[in-house]
Structure 1
Amino acid sequence: MMPSYFFAHGAPSIVLEDNEYTRLLRNFKDQTPKPKAIVLFSAHWEEPTQSIGAAETYETIYDFGGFQDELYEMTYPAQSDRSLSEQVQALFSKHGIQSVLNERRGLDHGAWAVLKMLYPEADIPVVAMSVNRLLSNEQQYNIGKALAELREQDVLIIGSGGTVHNLRRLNWRSEGIDEWALRFDLWLQDKLESWDTEALFRYRESAPYAEEAVPTSEHFIPLLLAMGTGDSNRQAKLLHRSYQYGNLSLSCWRFH
């Protein structure tokens, strides 16, 4: 059964960087069986109704400003898989989750920057997925859970976001790690590894420095979505954790 993953996408410039985390992403394809298709939830696509990408070929969206010129020349012309998009919609309907197909939207940097490092050839069909911060954390988890059977069909499910993502607290010159960011992530690691969904669903009340780490939830949601796909086995493994700019977390979790 194909594992599911959560990848932090960091700043858009991550795709140009060479560090331990980007090397992990670039080596991913050599250490993981090639999937038949990819279903990817991006923190940068927010919709009030769960949206499912169905563009024939995705345009590359440059949803950022002030970065290196090279980034605006990059493309990731992945194709979708209409039959898989419709299967995803059918699974959602089966579990009482309303959804719509979107044939127009391209891939934002939360999707293409990660995919460009994982599979630079853009030769695997992609179904892009939106997130909705108005849902409860349990509902987020259940959206992922509804798609769990896709893993048996060699579909790779990815959540792309960030566990600590507070742009107002970034220290662009820092080479250290802010204690509050690390303490939140250590709490999160304990709850993920023990699969303590009760605590995770209440992380805003339970976790240290939750307000600082997760001022808005759209980057945290993809973690719960990816986790939900592993509900049957409930095994979580941290593959990497590092930080940029003092507190922007770069983490990778695998769920079985």
Structure 2
Amino acid sequence: MMPSLFLSHGTPLLALENNGYTAFLKEYTNAMNKPAAIVIMSAHWESEEQLISAVRKHQVIYDFVGFSEEIFKITYPAPGCLELSDRILTLFSSIGVLGELDDRRPLDHGAWGLLHIMYPEADIPIVSLSINPELPLNKQYEIGKALAELKEENVLIIGSGGIVHNFTHIQKDMNVAEGWAINFENWVEGKIMAWDLESLFNYDQYAPYSMDAVPTKEHFIPLIIAMGAGDGHKKATMLHRTFQYGNLSLTAWKFD
């Protein structure tokens, strides 16, 4: 059975970088069975309605400015899977989440940035999902639980975001991690390993440096959804953790 993954997507430059995290992504992907399809939730697709991509072939959107010309040449023409999109629509309706199919949405860098590294051939069907930051975290977890049965059909579920992700705090020339960022990551790690949902759902009240690490929730939500998809076994493994720019965490979690 496929796991669900939470993967940090860092900055758009990740797609061009060769570092410990990108090496991990390639090695991990090469070691696992090839999925029949991928469902990915990116922090960069926000909507008040639950949207589900329903395209035959994916385009990409460059939802950033100020980077080298090379990154604007990356494409990711992976196929969609309309049958899977319909299936997810039904799964969400069973938990009272009224979804809507979207036949126009391109993949944003939170999706194609990772997929370009992991599956450069772009030959696996992809369905992307929006996130609604206004939903409480317990409902986000429920969304993950609703997707969990897809794992039994060789569908890889990926939540793409960032645990410590605050661009106003990054230190471009800093090569070591700041203590506050490490403290927040360590707190999250402990709560995940204990499967302490009450603490995670209320991280902003309990966690050290929560407002510095998570100024807005959209990058934290994919972690909760990926964890929800692992509710059946409640087994978590941290696969990788490094930091860029002083405090931007590149963390990967697997939920069986």
| Same fold at TM > 0.5 | yes
List runs of 5+ in structure 1 lacking aligned partners: none
**Given the two structures, how large is their TM-score scaled by the length of structure 1?**
0.99
1:178-217 per-position Cα deviation (integer Å, ceiling 9, x unaligned): 1110000000000001100011011000100000000001
- The Cα shift of 1:29 comes to 2.5
Matches within 5 A, 1:1-256: 1-256=1-256
Shift of 1:17: 0.9
Q: Aligned AA for 2:126?
A: V
Identity %: 50
Q: Which amino acid aligns with 2:65?
A: G
CA distance in 1 between partners of 2:165 and 2:95 (Å): 31
Q: Secondary structure at the match of 1:184?
A: helix
Alpha-carbon deviations, 1:83-109, whole Å to 9, x = none?
000000011111211110000011000
Cα separation, 2, equivalents of 1:68 and 1:7:
24
> C-alpha distance in 2, partners of 1:181/1:113?
23
Separation (CA, whole Å) in 2 of partners of 1:29 and 1:229? 19
1:228 Cα deviation after fit: 0.3
Task: Render the CA deviation track for 1:157-187: whole Å, top value 9, x for unaligned.
Answer: 0000000011100111111111110000000
User: Which contiguous aligned blocks of 4+ residues in structure 1 show a shift greater than 4 angstroms?
Assistant: none
2: CA distance between counterparts of 1:122 and 1:6? 20
- The alignment partner of 1:239 has SS state of strand
Aligned-partner SS, 2:204: helix
Looking at structure 2, the residues matched to 125 and 163 of structure 1 have their Cα atoms a distance apart, in angstroms, of 27
| RMSD value, Cα | 0.6
3-state SS of 1:241 partner: strand
Distance, in Å, in 2 between the alignment partners of 1:175 and 1:93 is 46
- Cα displacement (A) at 1:79: 1.1
Question: How many residues align structurally?
Answer: 256
Mapped to 2, the partners of 1:239 and 1:190 lie a distance apart of 14
DSSP 3-state at the match of 2:176: coil
Structure 1, residues 66-97: CA drift from partner, whole Å, max 9, x if none?
11110001100011100000000011111211
Equivalent AA in structure 1 for residue 74 of structure 2: M
1:7 and 1:125 map into 2 onto residues whose CA distance is 19
The Cα of 1:56 is off from its aligned counterpart by 1.2
Q: TM-score, normalised by structure 2?
A: 0.99
- Tell me how far 1:223 sits from its aligned partner: 0.3
* DSSP 3-state at the match of 2:105: coil
| d(CA) in 1 for partners of 2:202, 2:95 | 23
C-alpha distance in 2 between matches for 1:174 and 1:128? 34
Separation in 2, partners of 1:79, 1:51: 18
Unaligned runs of 5+ in 2: none
Q: Give distance in 2, aligned partners of 1:6 and 1:170.
A: 21
Give the partner amino acid of 2:216.
Answer: T
- The 3-state SS of whatever aligns with 2:168 is helix
